[in-house]
Each structure stands twice: as C-alpha cells, then as structure tokens.
Amino acid sequence: MTPVSSRNPNHVPHILLMASTDAEQYHFGTNGEAKPPPPKKQKLCSFISESEIQSEFSHHDASVARINNGSFGCCPQSVISAQQQWQLRHLRQPDGFYFNDLRAGILESRKVICSLINADDVSEVSLVDNATTAAAIVLQQVAWAFSEGRFDKGDVAVMLHYAYGAVKKCVEAYVTRAGGRVIEVDLPFPVSSKEEIITEFKRSMERGKLNGQKIRLAVIDHITSMPSVVIPVKELVKICREEGVDQIFVDAAHGIGCVDVDMKEIGADFYTSNLHKWFFCPPSAAFLYCRKSAKFTDLHHPVVSHEYGKGLAIESAWIGTRDYSSLLVVPSIVEFLNRFEDGIEGIKKRNHEEVVKMGEMLAKSWGTHLGCPPDMCSSMVMVGLPSCLGIASDKDTLKLRAHLRNHFGVEVPVYYRAPKEGEVDPVTGYARISYQVYNKAEDYEKFRHVINKLVSDKFCCACLSV
C-alpha cells in the first residue's frame, strides 16, 4: 500500500467507510458533538426546573393558551439547537455529510427507538415523515397483494370509524381500488368502558367474515384523534389473532410519549407513531415498526430511490435530497427527557394526571362531563362543552375554534357529536384538551373563563359568520 502524503490535516492513509459498529459508539449531543452513549438512566442531582421548562418553550406565543399539543406537538429549544447543528453540517459539506454522517445518524436514532419500544431488532424500525406515510407504506403492499392475487376480491379491511381522516382515505383508496371491501367499526362516544369498544370490534369481525370472506387487514388506532380515546389495543390485537386476521396495523400517531408503547406486549404486525407530537421531535418524524417474524418482505417506501430493494429501513433513510435533521435528533431528545424525574415515564404519568384534573375542573365548571373515564385518557381528554353554545355541525366546531383562537387566544380543537334521537339538551360539542410539560393551570383556567363568558353573553355558533 503506497502511503500518500496529504494536505488534509485529518489525513487517513486509506479510505474508511463508516462501519455500522462506529455508530454504536457515538451519538451527538445537543451541540452536534460526538459523544459516547449515556447510561440508560441518568441519575442527576436535580431535575429540570419549572423556569428551565418555560425557557425551553419560550418560543411559544405567550398570549396563547396552547392546550392543543395533540395536533402539532412541540419542540424544546435544546432540541431545535441540536437540529440546527445537523442542518448546518449538511449545508457546510453535503457530500461529506451524505457519505459519512447521514446513515450512521439515522441508524443511531433507529437504535434508540428500538430499545424504547421494546422491539426485537433494529431492522424492525424504519423512520419516516409521519404516521400518514407509514399508512401509505402498509396499504401499498396490501394493494399489491390484492392485484397480484394473494388476496381475493371482496376480502376485507377493518378500520375504526374514528380512524384519522387521511388514513381512512388511504385505506379506501388502496383497498377499494384493488377490489377489497372496507368495514368500519362503529364506536360509541361518549364511552364508559373499554368493554364497549371490544364488543363493537367483535361485532365488526363477524360482519367481515360474512360470505366466507377473509379479513386481511385490521387498522386500529391506539389513541383515536377526534374524538380522542385510548383504545384497548392489546385486547383488540388478540381478537384479531383469534380471528386469523392476516395483518394488524396499529396507527398510534399519538402513541410514543403519551401511552406505553411496547411492541412485544401489543403484538401487532405494524405499529406507527409520530415523534413530533408527544416525543419533542421537530416536524416531522415518525417510526414504523414492522414485526420481523411476520416476514413481510414486500414493504417499500412509496418514494423510490436507488436504495430500492434493500429493505424498508434503508429505503426510508434515503428518499432523495431532503432535510433529514428531524430524524437525527432522537438521541438529543433522550437527553432532554432524562432531565425530567423518571424521564418519559414520569412525563407521561404527570401529563395524564394533570389533563384529567383539568378536564374534571372544566366539566364541573360548565356542568358537563368527560368523554371517557380517566383510564381511557392519555395526555388528552374530551371535555363536554355547554349545550347552549349550539354546536350543531362540523362546520360549527371549526368556526368556534377559530373564534376562540382569534378573539380569546385559546387554541383548542372542538369535536361535534351528533345527538341521538330523544336526547334532551344533548352535549354536542367536546373540546379536546391536551397537557404537555409546558402547560400550566392558567391555560385551562383561561379556557374555562372564556367559555363561561360566552355562555353568559348568550353566544351561540349560529351567531358566527361563515
């Protein structure tokens, strides 16, 4: 080997391609510097203080009672800084970044997620933009199964009535176009126990098997979006296994950082969760878990690059020139989490306790109720709005939401529940309140006060202009 002298002070006598073992030894701290991995549970002398938390979220609009973490999530300053470091590394020398840093960084993030969600193997974990992308990946292979004859025309996909709009459209588009049939599971709302949900689900399984058709796919939310309820996902997966459902896909957009996310416990074939909702990631990032033992080999990212055919995780790690920085900050997020007492577990527990407390405070003040019992809430809860507000349609909820935002500085999504026949003075509107580490009691007190004022001013949605 002929040594060649170099003008480069970092000269190495031969090319070193970054091996995956290198990535095991490094992660990048909040300033983008390479650091050895932290111990699993960091014992700190003191935990992050209230004022430090407020400082981390000081970029939030202070005039807004931001009680809607569920829609778009949040990202602390220290993670934003880490992200900017990654972005700068790309801009500084993008070829060097692409060849030396990007893949190792993504692998590192995947490893962190793998251990957080109790997956067997890092090959089961892919990083994608969001849960909607994950749904497209799973549904695409279902569509191929239909068109290539592995599934028969008329075979069934089951999903919840309250599945996210975009996912529903995805299921309909891929399954229906390919000749399959879609069944929606009607769920009661308000709901008083998980048994109600289990019963409805079993009923839909029966409908799906009529005429000897097979149920090929079940799409189950872990936490529904609107109205938001925690679904007994482990029990529903078990029912699906008993019924011989081919593929079980859990859409847990809100999952990680909100509820317990243990792949082996839950037992689904596919599980996706957004990292930018409750896991403090900047927009946008999500993981898609694909159970290895299920041997699904036909999973592809819909955006095809030269990595096509190398496995979903590798395909997803390069979908053309992009800003991958939001996928790279996962180790920095873990550092942030570890500043809290009991880390992510502590955050989840406290968020849940606070949101239930705030929800009950609001319901009491308004004379309404919560949409589900506390054990079916996560860090979000549906709170009934006074019926005199006259919420009579989906459109009303959008108008009311905008009115609250523009006139009162309260950010909260509102859900319309159509009243059942014979209901007297029904509660037709529910606010989905969220609680995240940056929230304070004042945020909910402001909301309580605003609604009480609207009620006493005899406000109703019909008064709002279109």
Partner 1 sequence: MNGGDDTRNLGAAHRNGNNHHHSAKRPKISLPISESEIREEFSHHEEGVARINNGSFGSCPASVQSAQKNWQLRFLRQPDDFYHNTLSEGVLHSRTIIKGLINADDVEEISLVDNATTAAAIVLQQVGRGFAESRFNPGDSVVMLHCAFQAVKKSIQAYVTRAGGSVVEVELPFPVTSKEEVIDAFRLGLRRGKQDGKTYRLAIIDHITSMPSVVLPVKDLVSICREEGVERVFVDAAHAIGSVKIDVKEIGAEFYVSNLHKWFFCPPSVAFLYCKKFELSKDMRHPVAFQEHGNDLPVGNAWTGTRDYSSQLVVHSAMEFVERFEGGLEGIMARNQRDVVEMGKMLADSWGTNLGSPPEMCASMVMVGLPSRLLITSGDDALRLRSYLRVNYGVEVPIHYQAQSQREEGDGPRDKDGGRITGYARISHQVYNVADDYYKFRDAINELLKKEFTCRMIFTE
For residues 193-222, which are near partner 1 according to CB under 8 A?
none
Strand partners, 288: 126, 272
Please write down the long-range contacts of 96-99, taking CB distance under 8 Å and 24 or more positions apart. none
CB of 65 to partner 1, least distance (A): 11
CB of 107 to partner 1, least distance (A): 18
Binding pattern for the stretch 400-429 against partner 1, x by CB under 8 A and - elsewhere: --x--x-----x------------------
Span near partner 1 by CB under 8 A; candidates 118-126, 168-176, 348-356, 414-422? 168-176
Angle at the Cα of 229 from the Cα atoms of 363 and 359, rounded to 5 degrees: 20
Beta carbons within 10 angstroms of residue 245's beta carbon: 21
CB of 452 to partner 1, least distance (A): 23
State which of residues 122, 183, 303, 392 lies at the interface with partner 1 (CB under 8 A): 303
Describe the crossing of helices 343-366 and 441-456 by its angle, rounded to 10 degrees.
20
Closer residue to partner 1, CB minimum distance, 197 or 286: 286
Q: Is 90 in the site for partner 1 (CB under 8 A)?
A: yes
> Which of 19, 271, 284 lies closest to 134 in space, CA to CA?
271
Separation of alpha carbons 292 and 288, rounded Å: 12
Span near partner 1 by CB under 8 A; candidates 54-62, 149-157, 223-231, 423-431? 54-62
CB of 83 to partner 1, least distance (A): 9
State which of residues 20, 31, 42, 91 lies at the interface with partner 1 (CB under 8 A): 91
CB of 146 to partner 1, least distance (A): 10
Helix ranges (H only) for 371-461 are 394-408, 441-456
Q: Over the range 131-166, which residues count as b (16 or more CB within 10 Å of their CB) and which as e?
A: bbbbbbbbbbbbbebbeeeebeeebbbbbbebbbee
State which of residues 41, 306, 420, 458 lies at the interface with partner 1 (CB under 8 A): 306
Query: Tokens 């399959």 belong to which residue?
Result: 180
State which of residues 71, 192, 199, 393 lies at the interface with partner 1 (CB under 8 A): 71
State which of residues 257, 282, 384, 429 lies at the interface with partner 1 (CB under 8 A): 282
Please write down the long-range contacts of 374-378, taking CB distance under 8 Å and 24 or more positions apart. 375/194, 375/230, 376/191, 376/193, 376/194, 376/229, 376/230, 377/228, 377/229, 377/230, 377/352, 378/223, 378/228, 378/230, 378/254, 378/258, 378/259, 378/348, 378/351, 378/352
CB of 456 to partner 1, least distance (A): 26
Q: Is 323 in the site for partner 1 (CB under 8 A)?
A: yes
Query: Cβ(184)–Cβ(202) under 8 Å?
Result: no
Span near partner 1 by CB under 8 A; candidates 72-80, 237-245, 365-373, 431-439? 72-80
Closer residue to partner 1, CB minimum distance, 293 or 465: 465
State which of residues 61, 421, 442, 457 lies at the interface with partner 1 (CB under 8 A): 61
CB of 18 to partner 1, least distance (A): 10
Span near partner 1 by CB under 8 A; candidates 30-38, 190-198, 301-309, 422-430? 301-309
Instruction: Give residues with Cβ within 8 angstroms of 139, minimum separation 6.
Output: 170, 171, 173, 174, 175
Q: Is 320 in the site for partner 1 (CB under 8 A)?
A: yes
CB of 273 to partner 1, least distance (A): 13
Q: Please tell me the total number of residues recorded for the chain in this structure.
A: 466
Query: Tokens 């459109």 belong to which residue?
Result: 395
216-255 binders of partner 1 (CB under 8 A)? none
How deeply is 324 buried, as exposed, middle or buried, from its count of CB atoms within 10 A (0-12, 13-18, 19+)? buried
Q: Is 73 in the site for partner 1 (CB under 8 A)?
A: yes
Separation of alpha carbons 51 and 57, rounded Å: 10
Size of interface with partner 1, in residues (CB under 8 A): 76
Instruction: Give residues with Cβ within 8 angstroms of 168, minimum separation 6.
Output: 159
Span near partner 1 by CB under 8 A; candidates 188-196, 319-327, 359-367, 429-437? 319-327
Q: Is 275 in the site for partner 1 (CB under 8 A)?
A: no
Q: Is 149 in the site for partner 1 (CB under 8 A)?
A: no
Cα 218 to the chain's mean position, in Å? 18
Span near partner 1 by CB under 8 A; candidates 96-104, 221-229, 265-273, 415-423? 96-104
State which of residues 44, 304, 441, 462 lies at the interface with partner 1 (CB under 8 A): 304
113-132 binders of partner 1 (CB under 8 A)? 129-132
Half-sphere exposure of 75 (CA within 13 A, CB side): 20
Residue 261 tokens read as 């996310």
Span near partner 1 by CB under 8 A; candidates 90-98, 113-121, 182-190, 447-455? 90-98
Indicate the residue type of 394: D
